[in-house]
Amino acid sequence: MTSPSGLDLPVADRPAEGRFDGGVHHFPLRVYFEDTDLSGVVYHANYLRYMERARSDMLRIAGIDQRAFFEGGGGAYAVADVQLRFRSPARLDDALMVVSRLERVRAADVLVHQQVRCGTALLAEARITVALVSASGRPTRQPPHWIAIYQGLVGQGELQRP
């Protein structure tokens, strides 16, 4: 039996988690048929799904165990604000990179700047605030060790300009 995180799998068999480079997280993915709309381009809402996956994996490899926190009754992150700009469409079979950088950490929320790129082309860019909420849905403070992890990443590295 493997752990839910897959960490006991051989490295070659683990799900892609991306990597940090100078405080910036890089998360690769590919566009599949299920991601596209009738016109053959990525459906707009899927960019948010891609960014969610990248944020979750960024936190995981930084050492933040969201699942254990939730299962322990601590709550979960909820998207509080999204500022998103689409620039160019992704298409079937494109190899994409979601690039994420922490811009701000406060007691109960984190601001993440994210870009979806295909090669050097910027396809979409967002600033997303995620807030930690308790099991009852009320904002709650992030654990001190999470804040310490975030503070080590905030402002590190740079995202490419459009």
> What positions carry a catalytic annotation?
37
3-class secondary-structure state, position 61: helix
Return the beta strands (E) in 31-148 as ranges: 76-86, 95-105, 109-118, 121-133
Asked if 50 and 119 count as a contact pair (C-beta separation under 8 A), the reply is no
Classify the phi-psi angles of 147: left when phi > 0, otherwise alpha if psi is within -120 to 50, otherwise beta. alpha
Tally of CB atoms within 10 A around 145: 10
Under 8 Å CB-to-CB from 136, ≥6 apart: which residues?
Answer: none
